Structure formats: structure tokens, C-alpha cells
Amino acid sequence: MNTLRGTGIAMITPFKGDKSIDFEALTALTNHLIEGGVDYLVVMGTTAESPTLNKIEKIKVLDHVIQINDGRLPIVYGMGGNSTQALIEEFKQVDLVGVSAILSASPYYNKPSQRGIIEHYTKIADTASKPIILYNVPGRTSSNMEAPTTIELANHENIIAVKEASGSLEQVMHIINEKPEEFLVISGEDILTYPMLALGGEGVISVVGNAFPKMLSEMVNSALKGDYPNARKNHYNLLKVTECLFQDGNPAGVKACLKMMGICEEKLRLPLVPVNKATRRALEFQMEELS
């Protein structure tokens, strides 16, 4: 799946003042990302506040992005859960025409063993109509998908990549060193994207890129071409704003930036809330520095 090599964006879901979905802002965001040079769009990741959207809303967002995208970029759709059978049933119910792959987080809360994780992903990959991207994010799931687990799953014909957000470059190195050649290792943490690319990673699914698609895409493309001095320059240009974006949680920070850019309102659904005043001032300063 070379079409998923490079810069993917974990899209936010814009909301209006009444917390309903702002489809006009979603149109603006989609075009902003495409014009910013990203390689693919990720709909209904955690950054989309997916736990607060119902099934009908999720499909409406997906359909809208597919319509506005109009075939310009591949689209990845987030579908996960901590019940394997329920997730398999959901796969049967959702129309995935226009979707290139499914991003699926390792089961959360019930903390399966490594064998349980392998059996979960094997079952869903066996039944899914689209290729699966594994998503390892221990900070949210409370269990780490270890390197041997990822490598075993990488040999499944319908599992094409892993979004790695363990924070462990050692783990990333073991996966890259032992994976099948065509299997993609994708950064799931903006701040570690540059070092992961230098180690042999294939790209990023980014939060920061919602606001800074051009700079992020340039960094990723430069690294993939072996131009590490230019990639490193963009990495450090984005470093401080990246740190600020996550100070009060995701996607509060990036929504504050998008509000400053006139793309959407700074509205979140509870239990998430907007950034505090100090973080907003820091973001305003960083936006000025990058302008």
C-alpha cells in the first residue's frame, strides 16, 4: 500500500456552538489538507473525538469527506473496539466504498494478552473487506502491542501497516528490522516522526498536520527522499508548537490553532474542553513564529 506512505492526517471533527457537526468547516478542513500536500486522510481516529460521536454521525462525516475529497487522496477510516465479535459485525454493516484501509486500535480497557491481541486482529483481518492498519497506542489502551506481536501480525495478507505510538524507539527499531518488506511502519506520535523516519519508518498519521500540512509534508517527504538536513530543519521548526498542542489534551490544542486560522470553531464535546489561557497564549506565540 504505497499510497499510504508519507503524510496522513488524523482529521478533527469540527463542531458548531451547539456541538453539532460543522460540515461547512469539515469541507474547509478537507480542502486545506489536500492543498497542503498531504498524502492521505484519516477519518474517525481518536483525534476526531470518535468516542463522542454516534454511528450515524460517524458515517455522515465519512461520507462528507469522501464527497469533498472526490477521489483526490486515499481515505483511511477508524474502526476499533474492545469486543472482537462486535467489531466484526460492525464491519458487515458499514459501507466502505471509497475507503482504502481501516485503522483499528488494539483493544482498550480489557487489556488482552499478546496472544489475545494476535487473535483479535487475525479475526478482524480475516473478515474485513479492506486492509487493516494496526494501531498501537498504550497511553490510551493500557496495553502495549509488543514488537514480536506486531511482526507476527505483519505476515497476515490483509494487515498492511502499524501506526506505532508506543513512544519506544527501541520497539520501533525491532519492528522495522524484522518486518516483511512491504509492511509499513507509521509514526503515531508527531514528536517522534523525524527519528522514526530516520530509522526506516514510512510516514506519519499526524495531529499537528491538521494545522500545518505543508510544513509537515515537506519534513516527511524530505526524510523519505534522504534529505535529512531539510527534514531536520522542519522537525525543529515544528517542535515547540507540537509540544504546546498536546499540553491540554488532543484535539483541544489543534482546534485552537484551526480557530486562529479561521478554519473551524474551537468547540469540543465533553468530557474534552478547550485549552486554558496559558496554552492558548503559547499557541498564539508559536503561530506567529511560524507565520
pLDDT at 1 over 70: no
The confidence band for 2, taking pLDDT boundaries of 50, 70 and 90, is low
* pLDDT one-digit tens code per residue, 191-250: 999 999 999 999 999 999 999 999 999 999 999 999 999 999 999 999 999 999 999 999
- In order of start, what are the domains of the chain with their CATH numbers? 2-226 (3.20.20.70)
pLDDT at 53 over 80: yes
Return d(Cα 80, Cα 91) in angstroms, integer: 10
In the predicted model, what is the mean pLDDT of residues 1-12?
A: 90
* pLDDT one-digit tens code per residue, 145-196: 999 999 999 999 999 999 999 999 999 999 999 999 999 999 999 999 999 9
* pLDDT one-digit tens code per residue, 94-117: 999 999 999 999 999 999 999 999
Q: What is the residue-wise DSSP string for 122-164?
A: HHHHHH-SS-EEEEE-HHHHSS---HHHHHHHTTSTTEEEEEE
Q: Which residues contact 183 (CB under 8 A, 6 or more apart)?
A: 154, 159, 160, 161, 162
Q: Which residues contact 50 (CB under 8 A, 6 or more apart)?
A: 13, 44, 58, 78
Return d(Cα 186, Cα 163) in angstroms, integer: 5
Length of the chain equals 291
The pLDDT assigned to 142 comes to: 93
Report, as residue numbers or ranges, the catalytic residues. 135, 163
* pLDDT one-digit tens code per residue, 272-287: 999 999 999 999 999 9
Q: What is the DSSP letter of 21?
A: B
How many angstroms from the chain centroid is the CA of residue 156? 22
The confidence band for 128, taking pLDDT boundaries of 50, 70 and 90, is very high
Mean pLDDT over each residue of the chain, to the nearest integer: 97
Where is 6: in which H helix or E strand?
Answer: strand 6-10
Supply 206's cell numbers: 499526524
Whether this prediction's pTM lies above 0.95 is answered by yes
The pLDDT assigned to 291 comes to: 80
The pLDDT assigned to 3 comes to: 83
Contact indicator for 238, 216 with CB cutoff of 8 Å: yes
What is the residue type of 51? P
